Structure 1
């Protein structure tokens, strides 16, 4: 029996990045209908607004201001990064539907699987508070870094446009170019009171710690950074690093060293501008990068753990 409008008990307003890979692959109309059907199956009437990246802030702000529906932002880690100021100022939980390549934050919130499975988890989810990282004047929700990992982020975006038919091919292409063209960087690293000088292929800073081999955080409000340094080791070392990332065995890499602290300072000793990544978004920056935490600054909706009421 078809569900009627009067039978809906929830309402959601979904602001979706019209340039997200999931939308482009399915087509705008097909994606909208599939998403509406997924929410309807969970007892929610959803309004789907597909907007270009430049209009995401305004569209999300309007959705948050309305009191008759739960606001949802749909997109990859980079999309969530772009709207962080709006999310932090929201004053109420906002739903997230991950539609990117990596979806670090989506996995941490328990939102994975098919689009229908993600919507079901979101509709039955619960509000959580999470820490946000800040680098000078720039915020990020999960990962920031320089060197190999930032080059991977840049190459991945270019590869996705070049190979839209296969994420696996895009990843392999991006990894190959990153392995070949990464150059070691000399970095002064201050984590808490620990000061080290390193020659590294990559430095990665995460908001809270990844648990085990998976790129997944058990706690989003732990109040600390974890810093991973991939010591310089040449092509072979970078190739092993890329393989360990893909296989989930990166925690056991011999040339990877990790630190934890509530504040981090990174300074390139060559004083040159370099690429720094923020949740997959890449910028060229110079000078000292000072990392600080905004404790529990973000309210989002996470899937309830299995068995939770």
Structure 2
């Protein structure tokens, strides 16, 4: 029996429950397929199952920044933006102004950033990974103040993004059908572009079907970045050669053999300037969002500009 004079055993203080505030794009495909109320309940239940709490707001795209700013101002919670790569892209001006790590919940078709952060699988699996995740620093890209987190491109890639939006409206019942429709039309209707490139003070004139600028390098066969703060761009140039070469290049990207494609040339640099020689204005994609802009496009790197929660360490 313990004596009154014996010291009391120290009790472990339980770790505080992580609280999240999720701002979701109400027009995201995952939300539309499930229905707004059903989706919100699913998200809240998934956070509770993972030992966390979450407040979910489903808002139209035009209100995302405003509601995300309100979430960022609430220091008792971790702000999370839920949507595809384009939705996350639009939220970057708010996210980089946040004084603490932020979260993303990928709900798009491709989810480049979500994969890079280790947030894959079902929504429940992604949320479990988010609750157990740790913050990492990641670089961002900028073109005259226009931010992007993963990829920016022109030529075939910008046409593919435009065709994909059109296909989504025409084939809302199947993402696969919409993707194949967009890919085929892009392969058939892409026209070569002449671009003057400047990388590390070296100028070169290229004629290409597409140019893609990525923040840090994609590793191996998969379109995945294991390092998000490598401090460099990777520039991919798809040589011209007509529909057949574009089809082969597109197939190699889908099958993982794109690094060995003879139609693709990749370069690296900390800054790159692209100037279109064929027209004054052209379509450019930023994480799948398409804009029409006049060149030159001066790509600049913002090292470690964003701290975001990842399901893996930066060294993995």
TM-score band by shorter chain is: over 0.9
The unaligned stretches of length 5 or more in structure 2 are 1-14
Correspondences of 1:1-309 after superposition (within 5 Å): 9-304=17-312
- Give the superposition deviation at 1:8: 8.5
Q: Distance in 2 between matches of 1:241 and 1:299?
A: 34
1:19–1:53 CA contact under 8 A, matched in 2:
yes
Q: Distance in 2 between matches of 1:146 and 1:63?
A: 34
Where has structure 1 moved over 4 Å in runs of 4 or more?
Answer: none
1:131–1:297 CA contact under 8 A, matched in 2:
yes
Q: Distance in 2 between matches of 1:284 and 1:85?
A: 20
Deviations 1:116-137 (A, max 9, x none): 0000000000011110000123
1:188–1:269 CA contact under 8 A, matched in 2:
yes
- Give the superposition deviation at 1:77: 0.5
SS, match of residue 83 in structure 1? helix
Deviations 1:56-75 (A, max 9, x none): 11101111111222111101
Q: Distance in 2 between matches of 1:279 and 1:171?
A: 16
Q: Distance in 2 between matches of 1:126 and 1:137?
A: 28
Query: TM-score, with normalisation over the residues of structure 2?
Result: 0.92
Q: Distance in 1 between matches of 2:266 and 2:18?
A: 44
Q: Distance in 2 between matches of 1:197 and 1:189?
A: 6
Q: Distance in 2 between matches of 1:230 and 1:79?
A: 27
Q: Distance in 1 between matches of 2:279 and 2:312?
A: 46
The unaligned stretches of length 5 or more in structure 1 are 1-6
Query: TM-score, with normalisation over the residues of structure 1?
Result: 0.94
Deviations 1:130-157 (A, max 9, x none): 1000012311110001000111111112
- Give the superposition deviation at 1:225: 0.3
SS, match of residue 93 in structure 2? helix
CA RMSD of aligned residues (A): 1.5
Deviations 1:84-114 (A, max 9, x none): 1100101111110001111000000000100
Q: Distance in 2 between matches of 1:161 and 1:136?
A: 31
Provide the residue aligned with 2:9 in structure 1.
none
- Distance verdict in 2 for CA 1:124–1:262, change over 3 Å: same
* Corresponding pairs, count: 301
